[in-house]
Amino acid sequence: MVNETKAASRDTRVDLLGIELENPIIPASGTFGYGKEFSELYDINILGTFSFKGTTLEPRFGNPTPRIAETPNGMINAVGLQNPGVIAVRDKELPDMKKFFHKPVMANISGFSVEDYAKTVEILSGQDQIGWFEVNISCPNVHGGGMAFGTDPQMAKKVTEAVKKVADKPVIMKLSPNVTDIVAIARACEEGGADGISLTNTLLGMRIDLKTKKPVIANKMGGFSGSAIFPVALRMVYQVYEAVKIPIVGMGGVSSAKDAIEMMMAGATAVGVGAANLTDPWVSKKIVEELPEVMEKYGISSLKEIIGAAH
Amino acid sequence: MKEAIFEIRENKKIAKNTYEMVLAGDTTAIEKPGQFVNLKLEGFFLRRPISVCDYETGSAHRDGRGAAEQATAGSAAQGRLTLVYKAVGEGTEKMAALGAGTQLSVLTGLGNGYAQEKAGDAPVLIGGGAGIPPMYALCKALMASGGKKVQVILGFNTKDEIFYQEKFEALGAEVHVATADGSVGEKGFVTDVLAKLEYTYFYACGPLPMLRAIEKTAKSDGEYSFEERMGCGFGACMGCSMKMADGSYKRVCKEGPVFGREEIAW
Ligand SMILES: Cc1cc2nc3c(=O)[nH]c(=O)nc-3n(C[C@H](O)[C@H](O)[C@H](O)COP(=O)(O)OP(=O)(O)OC[C@H]3O[C@@H](n4cnc5c(N)ncnc54)[C@H](O)[C@@H]3O)c2cc1C
Ligand SMILES: Cc1cc2nc3c(=O)[nH]c(=O)nc-3n(C[C@H](O)[C@H](O)[C@H](O)COP(=O)(O)O)c2cc1C
Ligand code: FES
């Protein structure tokens, strides 16, 4: 009982670009849909917020199946950004979401050209349900030989500038870890006017089926995530924190309140939870509920105070 | 959907590479045959989807509960769940090695299930290999609804793989067996039997080539269960999407795994 009262007084609030989050926990894009499936399991208003499924200008069916493979302590996905397109998100998903989610949501955006990104963000500007744009630059640039925007500092900067021109909300650039110098990309985004950085997206990975001698995933390669990538993601958040002044949403392999706090100590202001939601649908709720106890255990009175504490 | 801890009561081999696992736990989220459960196995990141083969509805899961738990659970019936699975890879091999008393986290009540109301008075249920288990729960439910002649076609490669024939017979169904090598029953495929039967509606589950062959043979309306590799099993990840005849997409785990014949883009 004594511990419970103490735990209850722990301050889990953080400020993410002018919006106060009740706690730093944010289910990551692509693992939480547009919130509906989870709202049937628990009241998702207990979350800091969530980042909705990567949305593109046009509707996309995505890649052929199989899209999923298993790895030790993780998984690989090649969903291929299946989504109903930005117009349907604005006209249907957002109004539906209003019924069960009453906080500002993070709008995750993808594109295949600089213009795509800008148009998509423009269409979603003026929507008061949206609190932030999270711009996923792990996508291939169709005008750039298919190289991902997020692997070239100049391209990353260009996308940032184009989006910033039309966005009516803070812009968080979501980085790809599949680069030699994550810091250079983060700096380029900051120079381009980004308000925040989120990282990391999935690592490029693959599995081969020994029986068929063929890749498990139809697309051959896919995005590797889950607890296996936690140390890599944590290291990148740590490096980026040293290099930029803007706040960071840290993610990659988080599956417990302890992981979330570790991510914050590396430099994250808020923490994304991805693949863990798929294997334990209640995990984000559990993390939110466990935070005060873990804070108690490590003598943390306010989460704000531990952001970047490891530096 | 519900998550519950189930306890293995029995786990035994019933045919070549084929096992039957009986679990006790809260089955109240299971609505109908054709749905599946998603099992968490120690040492594996993703859950394993397995069809509901048989179930008894109830919420209690332990015989040896503590007094306090007994009191709150009152006289709640014990839920029972039977799964029949083939050991085909690392996860299912691990499952086959689990003993009675092992506890597993299970997500229950997943997927849509079969449209039993469409059966008519002489439905045929077609199962091939690992596609047979969901047909058992369906057969039981259709027999219980009364006044139906339920016909079942079970397809196997060979004699050693045969399971559940007598269990379907015990339900009172008319059972036909087809083996690819002719070691038991009709020599050939389930479609060789299907071509000779009269039926009002069909339900089919099995490997994709079998479903395609049925699509060419079947004379009535019907429905198929599909399999896909799953990230979540409850509609969150879009890992299991399937393109439909009308150009839309559906999730095998949520809008499926059962789809009407007319919905499918073959
Ligand atoms: C809705 C549904 C119901 C099912 N019902 C049954 C059943 O009643 N009895 C039965 O024997 N089998 C059933 N299966 C197939 C069963 O899920 C796979 O055989 C099992 O997941 C294989 O796991 P593994 O670790 O042994 O194989 P591995 O090949 O080592 O598994 C690697 C990964 O691929 C996935 N995977 C491999 N094969 C399949 C498959 N055929 N379908 C979906 N995912 C697969 C696994 O889940 C795992 O994530 C069903 C599948 C689905 C989708
Ligand atoms: C099935 C799946 C789909 C994803 N889709 C998106 C997406 O649409 N947009 C995006 O920015 N990131 C997407 N991601 C990446 C996650 O948001 C997250 O950055 C990454 O998975 C690392 O976190 P984790 O290890 O906790 O999963 C996806 C991840 C998974 C597993
Ligand atoms: S397996 Fe995740 S949506 Fe179907």
Distance CA B259, CA B15 (A): 29
Cβ contact, residue pair B45, A277, below 8 Å? no
Pick the residue of A63, A65, A227 with the most B CBs within 10 A to test the interface with B by mutation.
A65
Give the end of a domain, one of B66, B93, B110.
B110
Distance CA A135, CA A170 (A): 11
**Beta strand residue intervals within B111-220, DSSP E:** 124-128, 151-156, 174-179, 186-187, 202-205
Distance CA A149, CA A139 (A): 6
Indicate whether B123 and B217 sit together in one domain: yes
Cβ contact, residue pair A33, B44, below 8 Å? no
Per residue in A169-197, pLDDT tens? 999 999 999 999 999 999 999 999 999 99
Between A182-191 and A230-243, two packed helices, what is the crossing angle to 10 degrees? 50
ipTM score for this prediction: 0.94
For the domain that residue B83 is a member of, what is the CATH number? 2.40.30.10
Whether A3 has a pLDDT exceeding 60, the answer reads no
Mean pLDDT across chain B: 93
Domain count, chain B: 2
User: φ and ψ at B125, to 5 degrees?
Assistant: -110, 125
Indicate whether B122 and B100 sit together in one domain: no
In a domain, B201, yes or no: yes
Indicate whether B166 and B90 sit together in one domain: no
% of residues, chain A, pLDDT over 90: 94
Pick the residue of A219, A278, A285 with the most B CBs within 10 A to test the interface with B by mutation.
A278
DSSP code at position B255 = T
For the domain that residue B203 is a member of, what is the CATH number? 3.40.50.80
In a domain, B161, yes or no: yes
DSSP H or E segment with residue A184: helix A182-191
In terms of Cβ atoms closer than 10 Å to its own Cβ (0-12, 13-18, 19+), residue A8 is exposed
Strands A248-251 and A196-199: parallel
Give the C-alpha distances (Å, rounded to integers) separating A41 from A32, A108, B107, B223. Answer: 12, 23, 12, 29
Domain span at residue B173? 116-227
Indicate whether B91 and B142 sit together in one domain: no
Per residue in A215-270, pLDDT tens? 999 999 999 999 999 999 999 999 999 999 999 999 999 999 999 999 999 999 99
pTM across the whole model? 0.95
Residue among A236, A235, A277, A238 at smallest CA distance from A254: A277
**Among A residues 68-87, those touching chain B with beta carbons less than 8 Å apart:** 68-75, 77, 79, 82
Distance CA A123, CA A126 (A): 8
Place of tokens 């409850």: B234
DSSP code at position A93 = I
Tally of CB atoms within 10 A around B191: 19
Residue among B44, B129, B119 at smallest CA distance from B87: B129
SS3 A106: strand
Give the end of a domain, one of B193, B209, B227.
B227
Distance of CA B88 from the midpoint of ligand 1 (Å): 8
Q: Which regions of chain B are under pLDDT 50?
A: 64-68, 70-74
In a domain, B248, yes or no: no
Give the end of a domain, one of B53, B75, B110.
B110
Which ligand is nearest to the Cα of residue B131, counting in written order?
1
Indicate whether B98 and B123 sit together in one domain: no
Q: What domains lie within chain A, and their CATH numbers?
A: 2-303 (3.20.20.70)
